[in-house]
């Protein structure tokens, strides 16, 4: 994928670190308008950080993120706020307001960002909740929801204003198989109906590759593979093959980088 006007998002030579932990080491991506794109990788590979850089919550150490023609980190507060009006975000932890009912959580962005009358907001809230199968939950509080229900409510809030870009951070985590399949199809159908752009950040390979048009695989701070679902499934890259097929042994390590375990044992014995 090359940078063109057909791309809603373009990421060029993106570097970012949390302190001394260099998470992104030169990421390059082009995400076309109207497509569903997956960003795959193991936990800690920087997937959620990319979403924060797209939304302007973080600033890159080097490189740039361009959204709808604007370089995000160059925008002033007003321009960034305007850009975010085009975005919907399903947070990894849900991010529901704990002191608001389900109904008010979904209504919040409509009340905050539009001048819609309450009777229309009422109908829209019910429509979004119906889409995720929870229309009967309007009076429940977040503390009364199961983990899977909370994620479905978070998804309903992310799509409340039918944004031109919706970012889903681990949308399938905690869902039972039936809900997972329904939500995956909802993401696909909603994107196609609106002609919007969707980014799914996840490590759920099987479900994601069923619904995306294109996917990127991140490892070691860079994009090591990109392509259609079929291209990734048939990739000869060892790290991609290991991840896609859930193999325990390969270049993708299970353990967080550290000194050898025997060194810790020897240190403890010498105390």
Per-residue model confidence as pLDDT tens for the chain (271 residues)? 444 568 999 999 999 999 889 999 999 999 999 999 999 988 788 889 999 999 999 999 999 999 999 999 999 999 998 898 889 888 877 688 999 999 999 999 999 889 999 999 999 999 999 988 899 999 999 999 888 788 889 888 988 888 899 999 888 877 788 878 888 888 888 888 888 999 999 877 877 888 999 999 998 899 988 999 898 888 888 878 787 777 776 666 655 666 776 777 666 655 5
Position 253 scores a pLDDT of 64
**How far apart (Å, rounded) are the C-alpha atoms in residues 179 and 181?**
6
Position 3 scores a pLDDT of 44
At which residue do the structure tokens 């990894």 appear?
Answer: 92
**How far apart (Å, rounded) are the C-alpha atoms in residues 255 and 21?**
16
Residue 140 contacts residue 102 (beta carbons within 8 Å): yes
- Residue whose C-alpha is closest to residue 26's, from 61, 78, 70: 61
Structurally, at CATH architecture level, domain 7-229 sits in: 3-Layer(aba) Sandwich (3.40)
Give the domain ranges of the chain.
Answer: 7-229
């Amino acid at each position: 994928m090359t940078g063109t006007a057909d791309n809603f998002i373009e990421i060029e030579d993106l570097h970012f670190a949390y302190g001394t932990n260099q998470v992104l080491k030169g990421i390059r991506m082009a995400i076309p308008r109207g497509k569903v794109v997956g960003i795959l990788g193991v936990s800690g590979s920087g997937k959620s950080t990319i979403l924060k850089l797209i939304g302007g919550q973080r600033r890159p150490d080097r490189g740039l993120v361009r959204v709808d023609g604007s370089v995000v980190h160059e925008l002033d507060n007003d321009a960034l706020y305007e850009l975010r009006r085009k975005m919907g975000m399903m947070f990894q932890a849900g991010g529901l307001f704990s002191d608001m009912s389900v109904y008010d959580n979904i209504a919040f962005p409509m009340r905050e960002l539009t001048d819609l009358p309450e009777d229309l907001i009422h109908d829209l809230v019910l429509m979004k909740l119906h889409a995720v199968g929870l229309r009967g939950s309007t009076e429940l509080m977040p503390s009364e929801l199961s983990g899977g229900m909370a994620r479905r409510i978070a998804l309903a809030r992310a799509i409340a204003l039918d944004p031109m870009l919706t970012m889903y951070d681990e949308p399938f985590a905690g869902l039972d198989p039936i809900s997972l399949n329904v939500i995956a199809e909802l993401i696909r159908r909603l994107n196609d109906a609106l002609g919007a752009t969707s980014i799914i950040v996840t490590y759920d390979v099987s479900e994601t590759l069923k619904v995306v048009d294109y996917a990127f695989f991140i490892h070691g701070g860079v994009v090591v593979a990109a392509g259609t679902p079929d291209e990734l499934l048939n990739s000869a890259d060892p790290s991609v093959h290991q991840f896609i097929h859930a193999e325990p042994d390969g270049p993708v390590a299970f353990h967080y980088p550290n000194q050898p375990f025997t060194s810790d044992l020897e240190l403890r014995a010498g105390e």
